[in-house]
Amino acid sequence: MIMSATPKPGITGTRSEETVESPAPPAPAAATGPKLRASNVNFFYGKFQALHSISIDFPENQITALIGPSGCGKSTFLRTLNRINDTIRGARFTGEVVMDGSSITQVDVTELRRRVGMVFQRPNPFPKSIFDNIAYGVRINGLARRSEIADVVEKSLRRAALWEEVKDKLNKSAYALSGGQQQRLCIARALAVNPEVLLLDEPCSALDPIATSKIEELLLSIRDQCTLIIVTHNMQQAARVADLTGFFLMGKLVEFNKTDVIFKNPAKKETEDYITGRFG
């Protein structure tokens, strides 16, 4: 990985501006300042450039949705934020992502991933018991004493609204759960290490509508505890849960604004075309 961090203090984000280079208007929800700030992020898979100078500010304790057609780079961008793309051979990014004032390339990558949790497209519980799945991150990060782990597990499962369903079978394999339960388990597993930011990569795309609505309720209920960034194909989902929405197209951030504005009064024609279903 080659990381050429190029801090650009003048740039605060793109908001509803078309290009990244131009200075942006103040953040729409900048009450607490951005938790996470991406500036001029370019991303390459080998010679292919997947992202073109993306700049976004993610405000604390808000849900930000990233929408766009398949292959537009939204997942790639999300996976840059916890540097999980580092594991891909030939992948590199330029630009800078700053969390709480320090660049994510400066902090230890395991500590970064502890603080920036991730939930994947398909539920990926470990082939372990429900209890051990939740306890995993706590154990490897040494976050709790042995005697406290059971409490952490219960608390995390309650936060993910899964406790009542699994409290009698904590020692059963996580594979015994339904798809929707497995995904909530994965959210609980991520929450167990107290992340400050939670990245969700199309977390409901493999789930039915009932399981989806449970996850959405869950996301709204944990918003006050961490900053959420969700990639979704489902525009209704973005409209239902997100405070802010960014629209990606062909590796570029076309538009970023409050969700109402994006859906009711988009500034760009591409955004409007996508939202009204003219393509994508």
Partner 1 sequence: MLILWRKTVNGVMLTLTGICAFVTASALFLILGYLVWNGGKSLDWNFFTKLPLSPGELGGGMANAIIGSAKIVALAALIGVPVGFLSGVYIAEFSGKAMANVIRYTADLLNGVPSIVIGIFAWTLLVVPMHHFSAWAGGFALSLMVIPVTLRATEQFLGQVPLALREGALALGASKWRSVATVVIPAARTGIMTGIILGVARVSGETAPLLFTALNNQYWSKGFGEPTASLPVMIYTHAISPYEDWHRQAWAAGLVLLGLVLVANIAARMVLAKGAASQRG
List residues near partner 1 by CB under 8 A: 82, 84, 87, 110-111, 113-114, 117-118, 120, 122, 124-128, 136-137, 140-141, 172-177, 186, 189-190, 193
Question: Contact, 212 vs 237, CB < 8 A?
Answer: yes
| Cβ-based nearer residue to partner 1, 174 or 231 | 174
CA-to-CA distance for 229 and 215, rounded, in angstroms?
14
Q: Please, which residue, 84 or 215, has the CB nearer to partner 1?
A: 84
Query: Based on CB atoms, which residue is closest to partner 1, 9 or 127?
Result: 127
169 vs 269, which CB is nearer to partner 1?
169
Query: Given the complex with partner 1, which of 129 and 234 has the nearer CB atom?
Result: 129
- Cβ closest to partner 1, residue 58 vs residue 120: 120
Rounded least distance, CB 239 to partner 1, Å? 27
How is residue 153 written in tokens? Answer: 């597990």
- The least distance separating partner 1 from the CB of residue 124, rounded to whole angstroms, comes to 4
Closest CB 111 distance from partner 1, rounded Å: 7
Q: How far is the CB of 11 from partner 1 (least distance, A)?
A: 28
Least separation, in Å, of the C-beta of 58 and partner 1?
A: 18
Shortest distance (Å) from residue 27 CB to partner 1 = 27
